[in-house]
Amino acid sequence: MTLIDRIKNILLTPKTEWPVIAGETTPNIELVKGYVLPLAAIPAVAGFVGSSLIGHSVAFLGGTYRVPFMAGLGMAIFGFVMAIVSVYVMAYIVNALAPTFGAQKNATQAFKVVVFASTASWVGGIFQMIPGLSLLGLLASLYGIYILYLGLPQLMKCPDEKAIGYTAVVVVVVIVVSLIIGVIVGVAGGIGGAASGLFGGRSQHSSKVTFDKDSPLGKLDAFSKNMEAAGKKMEAAQKSGNPEEAMKAAMAGLGTAFSGGKAVDPIGIDQLKPFVPATFAGFAKSSSRAEKNGALGIMVSKAEASYSDGAKKRIDLEISDTGGASGWVALASWANVQGEQEDQYGTEKTMKVNGRLVHEKAGKDGRSEYTVVLGERFVVSAKGRGVELKTLKSAVSGLELGKLEALKDVGVQK
């Protein structure tokens, strides 16, 4: 069946198409290459065109706002990668929740139901090209919920009377995942770079499709295997017959999925606060805050402080342990996000320095930013007002970055 025929059938006649899909045995990696990649590219490309080329009308400014080209491209590429990873994450969740709703666990069928139920959302992403039509994209996503509702009984074998509850819980998780993706894509937009060799690394030494373990698709393949392993660890709780315990185990598994296949408890605020100095770049600390919190098994911790000279100059320093979401933060490194740009507003650059992902920005309005990712887990970010970029870089370099990076394995449950 051609790609166009499958799209047409799942959108127009989902009731009759799901039984056909249920009987297919296409490997997951082939579904990714032949179906997920081309469709997930639609909202990524359309969003880039709409935000960076066409732009958004801003009434109170009397003009049009366009996301800078490199920033828009970085958002598109990173959003594309996240769309692929979210398929694996959601398939994991669908499979993990199956016993709770009287369904049969089947990782292959769960992957298929997520892939094809996502069709409406991906195709509807074309409306992002015209910002004023974005509401139509939302309607397409709502139709995707209906497609999912029809597919769960067919592929996961859940009783019809439990399909609504099954769908509702999955949708709630989708919303949570989407919010997190939105935040991460926003960070990628700030990074503003292009991926080099994003889908490279395919191995030709075997008739079986394999990928270099250090390539992006190799990482994604390992990511899915880790989640499958995590799912097996949950079976004992699910077989207990206690829905509450099964749900609790599923939510704990969600945290494991986001951290890259292993549970990660971020370091406590007492460990993080010492990395925030009393003075920074010669400025005294004017305020500080630290917290550790999260939801659905996804925990993060953060320590931040503001520094000023008592006049117009100010620096905001933030040090975060992404612990529960460290697997997703690592995607920025997997995708090899790099690039630079210069326009009337200033300069921006993203690069790898000594194996660390670094982002720096110098605005002509006197604002500057410097961010470095340590151990694919810790994020150190300094934002200045009235402070030069070189001052921020020097101040961040003066922090105990090596000592913080050395904590990358603390709290990791293997």
Alpha-carbon distance of 67 to 47, in angstroms, equals 10
Burial readout 34-59 (b: 16 or more C-beta within 10 A, e: otherwise): ebbeebbbbbbbbbbbbbbebeeeee
Domain shared by 179 and 137, yes or no: yes
* Global confidence as pTM: 0.52
Tell me the C-alpha distance between 11 and 151, whole Å.
12
For residue 247, the model assigns a pLDDT of: 55
Condensed to tens digits (0 to 9), the pLDDT of residues 223-266 reads: 555 555 555 555 555 566 665 665 555 555 555 555 555 667 88
Whether 398 is in a domain gets the answer yes
Distance CA 17, CA 201 (A): 34
Is residue 263, in this structure, part of any structural domain at all? Answer: no
Total residue length of the chain: 414
Q: Can you give the pLDDT at residue 81?
A: 78
How high is the pLDDT of residue 198? 35
- Average model confidence (pLDDT) across the chain: 76
pLDDT at 202: 41
pLDDT at position 407: 93
Amino acid identity of residue 98, one-letter, is A
330 and 359 housed in the same domain: yes
The pLDDT value given to residue 222: 59
Q: What's the pLDDT score for residue 348? A: 84
* Whether residue 208 sits in one domain with residue 231: yes
Instruction: For residues 40 and 122, state if they share a domain.
Output: yes
Check whether residue 68 and residue 152 sit in a common domain: yes
Looking at residue 238, its pLDDT comes to 55
215 and 337 assigned to the same domain: no
Name residues whose C-beta falls within 8 Å of residue 174's C-beta, 6 or more positions apart in sequence. 90
- d(C-alpha 313, C-alpha 389), whole Å: 13
Same domain, yes or no, for 131 and 166?
A: yes
d(CA 171, CA 127): 22
The whole-number pLDDT of residue 207 equals 37
Q: What is the pLDDT of residues 383-411, one digit of tens each?
A: 999 999 999 999 999 999 999 999 988 98
Residue at which a domain ends, from 258, 288, 320? 258
Q: Looking at the structure, do residues 171 and 95 belong to the same domain, yes or no?
A: yes
Indicate if 150 and 31 belong to the same structural domain: yes
Residue 176 located in a structural domain: yes
Per-residue pLDDT, 203: 41
Quickly count helices (H) and strands (E) in the chain.
16, 16
Q: Assess whether 238 and 354 both reside in one domain.
A: no
How many angstroms separate the CA atoms of 115 and 96, rounded? 16
Range of the domain at 92: 3-258
In a domain, 264, yes or no: no
- State the Cα–Cα distance between residues 326 and 379, nearest whole angstrom: 10
The pLDDT of residue 190 is 46
Q: Are residues 164 and 251 in the same domain?
A: yes
How many angstroms separate the CA atoms of 3 and 23, rounded? 17
Amino acid identity, position 374: L
Q: Which residue in 93, 104, 95, 87 sits closest to 144, CA to CA?
A: 87
Task: Please check whether residues 253 and 289 belong to one and the same domain.
Answer: no
| pLDDT attached to residue 17 | 94
- Under 8 Å between Cβ of 299 and 269: no
Residues of the chain with pLDDT under 70: 52-74, 130-136, 175-263, 294-298, 324-339, 414
How far apart, in Å, do the first and last CA atoms of the chain sit? 42
* Domain tally, the chain: 2
